[in-house]
Amino acid sequence: MLSRTADNLFWMCRYIERAENTARMLDVNLQMSLMPQDASAHDSLWRAVLRISELQHDYDARFPAVTALDVLHYLVREPTNESSIYACLRAARENARAVRGSLTTEVWETYNTTWLELQKHLQTHLPERNPGEFFEWVKFRAHLARGVTIGTMLDDEALHFLRLGMHVERADNTARLLDVKFHEEHEEHEDIVARTSEFYRWASLLSSVSGLEIYRKVYRDVITSDRVAELLILRPDMPRSLVASVQALTEDLARVANQRSAETERRAGMLYAELRYGRVEDILHSGLHRYLERFLERINDLGNRISQDFLVPLVA
């Protein structure tokens, strides 16, 4: 497969996954912001969304203060913010248009219709009028895109590069969510308010990765931070866990392997082995923040190596 085609497929799926992840975070934050809390807690809630996406500095350069309305504008419809839902869905559609010959008609129409419907929703101010409905629409379109892709695409290199993009983005996002939420927990004072809000914090984190019902089914007990960490890092049957994402990434790398990718495969395999045989007690004992920082470095290194091995045209 031509490297340019692989590049478009890889980023097409990364961008729609990123749009969905952003919608999930904003939706949960809106629900959490309705809880009784002081001004500093409300401000911290919205700053956390910006920290997860590493957009705090850029946001501060554009807006004088952190408000729910400004953060929503910045992360939903700001065209110059490459991580906004608008920019992600636009980029996903443009990448799909560039490789229409490698996609089924159903996949192309799904991406194109998503882009056209987004413009209508923004024109009618749906994100401001009913943000919950808008975020559900974004999630539904992302689910639809994945389902149509799996249901209509040939199981060949094109599908594998699509899956690579999805799982690199998903692993990165889950790690960032988990890191920020644990960081917030340790910043709080051990008072009644903090202990009361802990349940809602972890419930919101699980909701943002569609994991609340899974948690109840697996543990059948109260929500604790240790179990949340175990579920989102080490459970291979949790679709958005780190180990599930890295396992799928490793498998698809093996299917598209070329003469340049041996080191990338080795690093992916080592990361998967550590996750597969890891224990949450060891991770927490060594420091979760340090562990997740290291994971983010390694998953981003894998993303860069995939670009070097498969996506960047060779220089003659």
Q: What is the DSSP letter of 124?
A: T
State CA 211 to chain mean position distance: 14
As a whole number of angstroms, the distance between CA 145 and CA 103 comes to: 12
**Cβ-based neighbour number of residue 58 at 10 Å:** 17
| CA quadruple 167, 171, 174, 180: dihedral, nearest 10 | -150
Collapsing DSSP states into helix, strand and coil, what is residue 176? helix
Of 115, 104, 112, nearest in space to 151 by CA: 104
Collapsing DSSP states into helix, strand and coil, what is residue 162? helix
Per-residue pLDDT of the chain (316 residues; tens, 9 = 90+): 578 899 999 999 999 999 999 999 898 888 777 766 666 666 777 888 898 888 999 999 999 999 889 999 999 999 999 999 999 999 999 999 999 999 999 999 999 999 999 999 999 999 999 999 999 999 999 999 999 999 999 999 999 999 999 999 999 999 988 887 776 655 544 444 455 567 777 888 898 888 999 999 999 988 888 999 999 999 999 999 999 999 999 999 999 999 999 999 999 999 999 999 999 999 999 999 999 999 999 999 999 999 999 986 544 4
Identity of the amino acid at 106: E
Per-residue exposure over 198-237, b if at least 16 CB sit within 10 Å of its own CB, e if not: eeebbbbbbbbbebbebbeeeeeeebebebbbbbbbbbee
Of 75, 78, 48, 90, nearest in space to 131 by CA: 75
